[in-house]
Chains A and B, each alone.
Chain A
């Protein structure tokens, strides 16, 4: 018996918090749809006995008709392979949600209640116990309240919930539960969603519990690449079952966050070379968030827009966060009895008293602008360094 497990695809996710340019968002959403199609195609190719989607298939808040049509079409395309969906907190099965209001292909089964319900395969001895998110808080103990009958069938639990021991900081504790409270004889596999990481909670010869993670990484918090899981459950010949889980890579995209201290970099070429030396190999499509720190020489500052434009050409997306300042000899100017010297002294005093690092950076930028204005350097606003994060 073979089932495919995926979760947290977040179709139609809004990438407004990632700092991407506007054009990247649409491309990222297309990649998400492609990732779902890839998972389903794999299930069809392998003639899986079921496809399990452990919540957050889509983001109802932003869901477009096109995406919904796409999803239904993709599900219908792999019929009769059953697709089982346990809605998550982002695609909760509320009265107006597509899970309720829309018609779904015959091979799709949605667990619409926030209580454990079962689905039995008409073809194989497979029982999937699902619990959906209805938008209302799931009472404590609901997830662990699953009772699996002891029989010869394969029993799989499908739920979008946060296992408290593995829930990362900052995550919404949706349907919190503890794995140990859920374990029971007869349960062969727990297909989980919510944590955006391909994470094994437990794996033994007769049982496994996994978070599949998104097939297409959603943000820089989950670097990628995306995976889905292929679960094989067979009789072990001793009256029990052998469960094996295989991770399959779903996309070759990586989110890379890179912090670069520009101090001492002589020019743009050196910066580009340094960045490239710290990036993964060419077989991955990269989404790079580059944070510039330190002091930038005036040569590098002049070349920066061109260098970043060239760098962007080889990447899926580039986000630049500039916190660098210009590498000038402020001490020398501050010693002079000139207006420039006076300005630099005043700025130094204000920078010294800056209450927060953000204020300090803003004042350093003010000082750089003033000095550049005095020295006749071009004052640009259309480059990453021209802006303040």
Chain B
């Protein structure tokens, strides 16, 4: 198929454009924004329409962007194309919204054949699909090779990207995804399904099923337990009935048993009577109390023990008494013991002595410290007087000096910087002026090219206008002259005729003398005058017109000469500028204008910089004067600006010294004050301590004197006196202590003897009281009587036991009642024996208890069966929910797997089929384009593209070693091969190339053009470009070049 002609009524910037195209390679050249890409879009839209969505006729608002700029109502055009298989068709389309229509006409028959093609759901007529065998997407991606498609290929994965791009076009047509990418997406879906749904469901379901099984088993178990419970309840009811029966039987048997015991009761009554007879003689001892017998025996033994103890104590007393008497004789009894010095007084004495010593030391130290500080203060005051008093300078001299110094340093820096900037700008301005001086001279009268050009064109137009006017004037003058010239002979001849007639009439009058002849002569004379006047006027007019005509002619000649001589000033300028072309001159002028503007900017900046530099220079001395004044106050005369920094350091040092001394002075004064206070405090404390010490000494010496120890009291040193007194007291105290101890032992022994005697008397009294109380004389007598009383009580217990037996046999039934029942029962025999009834009753009761326990146990067990479990409905619903999700996912997985399988099959078959063809053609194209610089293109398994070496034996070419241009050429070769392949089985496809040669050098551009020219013998190729060299290369290759204006 090839496009023969197209007419754009309006499409984007294109309007009323006609293009006649021929088969083969054609290059449409034009600068940027001349509508090349628009034209490419126009061709596509003419074939396929503008609707993006095949399923919907909705208008795509994006199409409004391509509405004609000038006349939106002319949105559309016409395109004529011919098919390889024969037939020429004309498409006429309008893209105007709400009035869109398409008309396909068979140019050979002239018939409208639009209706012969099916309409898509979006209402587009599918003739292009029918004729080209391609959808719009495939056509755009296959036939269109734009420079944008080549971007981003120059990195390490370039060949992979080329592969992906080719496969995307080849596999999906619309160029969105390759089969590999589609398979990858499906694999991701499969992975997600497995990971998010199927696997979790697979993991969750077995435990859930186990839970359900457990719940169902629990329900079954519960039902089983309920059944058992019901059975147990039934059995329980039966047992209750049996128990009632047995209880009744037991009662009857019991009655019979009790009647049977009547004889036994009577026998026991006889035994009771015998016991009563034995008890009778012992009756006097019935109430004899045995209480106190053991106590009396105990008291008897205790009295014996005390007697032995008394004898031992008396022996001890006899041993102690002689020693005590010896000590009493050695120690005078009337001498008072020395009064002890109170421990507190002694401790206080020691404390006061220690305190006195401590205070004496401290007082001495404080006194020395005061003297030392006074000396230091005096020294510091002398040194402080030697430095300036900075307190008069400023509140914070450091900050103030720093600010001044910083301000001055900043001012210097600013001045230097501003001056440097000013000098730099001056140099720049000077250089710029020098640089543009030739151009300034050249363009000094050409401040505006356009104005000059306009003036020149105005002058040219004025000249042309004047020339035209002069020509017109000349022509009109020539015509008027001709007319005037034509009139002169007529008037002459009329005047001549009139003169002849007048002469004839004069002759007649003269001959006839008739007056009427005069009348006629007068008329003719008037006519003669008129004609003569006209003749004269015509002659004058013709003369004047000739003169004017000559003047106009001369003017015209002058204008022509001037026009011929007129050289445009711009041309003069070009020659002066020694430029090859006006574009070069224009570029030079633009450069000059830019340089001039730049110079103006620099000059303006320089002026401002001059002001700033001047201000900064003026500021420095002012600031210096201030610093001088300030430093003078600080005792630092300053003369040189360069010495400011050093002076600042010195002043700062001096201030540092001043501040240190001030601080030191302050510290010393504080310390002195503290030392004086300490001195005073320690003096007072020492005085107080000494007074207290004197009081304590007086007190101690008084005690000594009172104790009769005047010798010790007179010892001068109170501590020595105290030690001597203590030794004296200790000796006397020891003797007294031993005597006191012996005295205490004797007294204690006497006390114990007395106590033992009292206790012995008490024991005897208590024993007597007990014997009297029992009415006996001795404990032996008491023992005998107690034996008889115990015998009586034993018989009494035997009697009570027999009585109990009778009561047991009666079992609560009065004897009379028993006798009545016996009378009632008479001789009744049979019935369940009581033991058996009781035994059965016990069994039944046990069974009832067991059944009750079982019922309770079963109820609890039934409750516990399901207590820990979720309701089965919940579990079943969760299982169903997860199974549904799993089944849905599994079905989707199966569908995705089926889709993946078919895609893989389709892609593999297709790739295997086309890979050799594309590789072969691409290799050839690449060799031709690169002039043999590259080897073969190989397409291996998985459509892997590799670039073979130029010579056999060398390693394959890597992407890194390829330039961007070479990659472009590989890509172009592959694309061309792909288009050729797609064209092989049907209609050849036109190729619309949008500047695909951006990275080509001249050689390869030419070779590429040759390749395209060769391909152009089969496929129509339209190359849209803005580059002149592409046009030249195409022309050189024999292709036609169409310039788009």
Contact = CB atoms under 8 A, between A and B. Distances in A.
A332 interface: yes
Contacts of A339: 170-172, 178-179, 903, 906-907, 910-911
Nearest to B216: A61
Interface string A101-112: 110000000000
Interface in A75-113: 94-98, 100-102
Contact of B872 (A17, A62, A329, A346): A62
B850 interface: no
Given A369-B186, A369-B896, A373-B185, A341 B173 contact: yes
Nearest to B135: A332
Interface stretch (B24-32, B189-197, B629-637, B923-931): B189-197
A350 B895 CA distance: 12
A387 B891 contact: yes
A238 interface: no
B871 A64 contact: yes
Interface string B303-329: 000000000000000000000000000
A204 to B, nearest CB: 41
B588 to A, nearest CB: 53
Identify which of B178, B181, B888 gathers the most chain A CB atoms within 10 Å of its CB. Answer: B888
Contacts of B120: 329, 332
A94 B224 CA distance: 11
Interface in A41-89: 59, 61-66
A346 B902 contact: yes
B54 interface: yes
A101 B226 contact: yes
A373 B176 contact: no
A19 interface: yes
Nearest to A347: B902
Nearest to B906: A342
Interface of B is mostly: helix
A65 B866 contact: yes
A337 B176 contact: no
Most buried by B among A26, A337, A341, A342: A337
B751 to A, nearest CB: 87
B1041 interface: no
Contact of B873 (A25, A98, A328): A25
A96 B222 CA distance: 8
Contacts of B54: 329, 332
Given A366-B899, A388-B895, A337 B982 contact: yes
A22 B877 contact: yes
Interface in A1-34: 12-17, 19-22, 25-26, 29
Interface string B887-909: 01101101110111011011101
Which residue, of B229, B862, B891, B902, has the highest number of chain A Cβ atoms within 10 A? Answer: B902
A369 B188 CA distance: 12
B201 to A, nearest CB: 13
A373 B189 CA distance: 10
Interface stretch (A143-151, A176-184, A279-287, A375-383): A375-383
Nearest to B885: A387
A65 B182 CA distance: 55
A24 to B, nearest CB: 8
A341 B54 CA distance: 16
Contacts of B138: 336, 338
B431 interface: no
Contacts of A347: 899, 902
B895 A20 contact: no
Given A337-B133, A388-B892, A95 B230 contact: yes
Contacts of B985: 337
Contact of B888 (A17, A343, A387): A387
Contacts of A22: 874, 877-878, 881
A96 B884 CA distance: 33
A126 interface: no
A362 B129 contact: no
B55 interface: yes
B226 A95 contact: yes
Contacts of A59: 873
A327 B55 contact: yes
A171 interface: no
Contact of A379 (B186, B871, B910): B186
Nearest to A335: B129
B871 A374 contact: no
Interface string A348-389: 001000000000001101110110011110010110001111
A15 B877 CA distance: 6
B889 A387 contact: yes
A369 B895 contact: yes
Interface in B212-227: 219, 222-227
Contact of B899 (A29, A337, A370): A370
B597 to A, nearest CB: 51
B899 A367 contact: yes
Contacts of A96: 222-227, 230
Contact of B182 (A62, A297, A337, A370): A370
B844 interface: no
Interface in A99-143: 100-102
28 contacts: A14-B872, A15-B877, A16-B873, A16-B876, A63-B219, A96-B227, A100-B227, A100-B230, A333-B135, A333-B173, A339-B171, A339-B179, A339-B906, A339-B907, A340-B171, A342-B910, A350-B898, A365-B891, A365-B892, A369-B186, A369-B899, A373-B183, A374-B176, A379-B185, A381-B197, A382-B196, A386-B888, A388-B888
Interface of A: 12-17, 19-22, 25-26, 29, 59, 61-66, 94-98, 100-102, 266, 297, 327-329, 332-333, 335-343, 346-347, 350, 362-363, 365-367, 369-370, 373-376, 379, 381-382, 386-389
Given A96-B225, A342-B906, A347-B902, 10 more contacts: A15-B873, A16-B877, A65-B863, A96-B224, A332-B135, A340-B173, A365-B895, A373-B177, A373-B189, A379-B896
